[in-house]
Structure formats: C-alpha cells, structure tokens
Chains A and B, each alone.
Chain A
Amino acid sequence: EVVMTQSPAALSVSPGERATLSCRASQSVYSNLAWYQQKPGLSPRLLINDTSARATGIPARFSGSGSGTEFTLTISSLQSEDSAIYYCQQYYNWPPLTFGGGTQVEIK
C-alpha cells in the first residue's frame, strides 16, 4: 500500500499570502496525484488531478506540482474562503486508493 504523508499538519496564513502544502508518497506514484479541499460539514471537492490539472471551476490561485514521490499544492493568494482541510490522494498503485492525513489551512 502506498502511504501518503502530508506536511505540515496545520498552517496559518494571512489573507493574500501564499500557502504551500506538501505531500509525500512512500513510493513513486508518477503523476497520478490529486488534491481535495474539505470544509467543515461538507464533502470533499476535487481541486487538482494528474498532479497539476485544475478541476472544473477551480480558481487559478490553486496550483499543483511535483512528480514521483514529492508533490506540492500552492494557493498563491489566500482568500478567506480557502480555510479548509486539504488532502492529497494517489491513484497510481491501487487498490487501495490512499489519502494523506490532511493539512488544515487557517486564515490568520
């Protein structure tokens, strides 16, 4: 099973600043990496798939990068509505599909 590790566990960023979230895979997942946003009481929303492709309707301030075992989600200019938990997920070596433990993003 591919273990996904996210860091940091929590992040506090001022509005308009950049947020950088990391995700590491225990083995290469090539570019088969997605990012999700989950707000309290809501279902996850797909932000990014294939490492860097934004899903439909996702603002351009969200971008993804990386390959192999190291991946990054960047929120270029944090907005108040970006306060959420962010999960990465690999879909290269499955089953199972595996998620990281999440990064909580808080707005200062």
Chain B
Amino acid sequence: EVQLVESGGGLVQPGESLRLSCAASGFTFSNFAMSWVRQAPGRGLEWVSGLSGNGVGIYYADSVKGRFTVSRDNSKNTLYLQMNSLRAEDTAIYSCARNVLSWGGSPMDYWGQGTVVTVSS
C-alpha cells in the first residue's frame, strides 16, 4: 500500500525557516517524481515544487523560487522541502504527492494528508 506521511509543520514567525519531510512507503521511491502542493485556508490547490525520480530535475513555482529548496534521499525514501524566509502568504497545508511518472510533468496519483504551516507574528 502506497503511503505518504508528512511532518515538520508548525507555527513560525515571518522570516523564519522550516523543513518539511515526506516519508514514502509501498512503492519504489526512486521510480517516481514527487511534488509538494499547498492549500491555503479556504483556497484551492497550488503546486509548489517538484523533483524528478533521480533528483536531477528540480522545479519551483515562482512564488517560492529562491526561498524554498526541494530535495530527496532515495536511500531513505524521503522527500524534503526546506522553506526559508517564510511569509504570511506561505500559510497553508503542505502535502507531498507522487507523480505518476519519473519526471514531474505528470498528474499526481497519491497524496499525503498534509502538514500545517502557519506563518504569523
């Protein structure tokens, strides 16, 4: 059974940092691209970042480029999102999702339950 479990969310002040993790199980992790998608309270879905299965292809939304860094450790079946210089508008539920292909230009067929990030002073 495919499982994705996020952790690392919390309440931080503007300008601070957080590191999210997504532990994957039930599939060959390195065969699939992975994405981070966020959903602000009462809002729709926003793709944040993606990473190819081999970790070479790295992609970001303009809204987080230069502040967020995505990475993966295929030996640990874990995806990460380092979030620096956080802003109030980054407040959202952050979910990791598995892309259906090894590269990021594909739909997402499994999603974690998400971890809540709140940026507030």
Binding site for B on A (CB under 8 A): 1, 32, 34, 36, 38, 43-46, 49, 55-56, 87, 89, 91-92, 94-102
A-contacting residues of B (Cβ < 8 Å)?
Answer: 35, 44-47, 50, 59-62, 95, 97, 100, 104-109, 111-114
Cα(A44)–Cα(B4), bound, Å: 13
Q: Knowing A44-B45, A102-B44 are in contact, say whether A96-B107 is a contact too (CB < 8 A).
A: no
User: Which one, A32, A98, A101, A102, contacts B47 given CB within 8 A?
Assistant: A98
Distance of A102 Cα from B106 Cα, bound (Å)? 19
User: Out of B35, B60, B100, B114, which one reaches A43, CB within 8 Å?
Assistant: B114
Give the CA-CA distance A89 to B37 in the complex, in Å. Answer: 12
In the complex where A49-B100, A97-B50 touch, is A34 in contact with B95 (Cβ < 8 A)?
no
Closest 9 CB pairs of A and B: A43-B111, A34-B107, A95-B59, A97-B47, A99-B45, A49-B107, A96-B61, A46-B109, A102-B44
